[in-house]
């Protein structure tokens, strides 16, 4: 892999927080997320960290800051009770 493929770009667009590399994109819908932390705790590669700011619901939400570590197992997407996470590649 080249350096351009492993650089993570994280941006917020409205309710969506998007972590992205050249090959993988993880988006979190902060409007749907209740901040339960299942994705943060269960991710085998520790892709997520808690946000420093609060969402519209007044909770800290996960931010995919280490997308380059993602192995695309989709465990975060499958375990999210609010369907707030989408993993694409």
pLDDT tens track for 50-59: 999 999 999 9
pTM above 0.85, yes or no: yes
CATH architecture of 3-88: 2-Layer Sandwich (3.30)
Sign of CA dihedral 61, 41, 3, 1: negative
Half-sphere exposure of 53 (CA within 13 A, CB side): 6
pLDDT confidence tier of residue 15, bands split at 50, 70 and 90: very high
In this predicted structure, the answer to whether residue 24 has a pLDDT above a threshold of 80 is yes
Backbone angles phi, psi at 17, to 5 degrees: -110, 125
What does the alpha-carbon distance between residue 27 and residue 79 come to, in Å, rounded to a whole number?
Answer: 15
Do strands 48-54 and 9-13 pair parallel, antiparallel, or not at all (unpaired)? unpaired
């Amino acid at each position: 892999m080249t350096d351009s493929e492993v650089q993570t770009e994280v941006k917020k667009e409205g309710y969506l927080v998007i972590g992205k590399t050249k090959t993988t994109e993880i988006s979190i819908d902060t409007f749907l997320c209740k901040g339960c932390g299942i994705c943060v705790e269960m991710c085998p590669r520790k892709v997520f960290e808690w946000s420093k700011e609060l969402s519209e619901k007044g909770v800290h939400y996960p931010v995919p800051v280490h997308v380059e570590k993602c192995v695309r197992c989709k465990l975060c997407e499958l375990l999210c009770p609010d369907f707030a996470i989408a993993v694409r590649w």
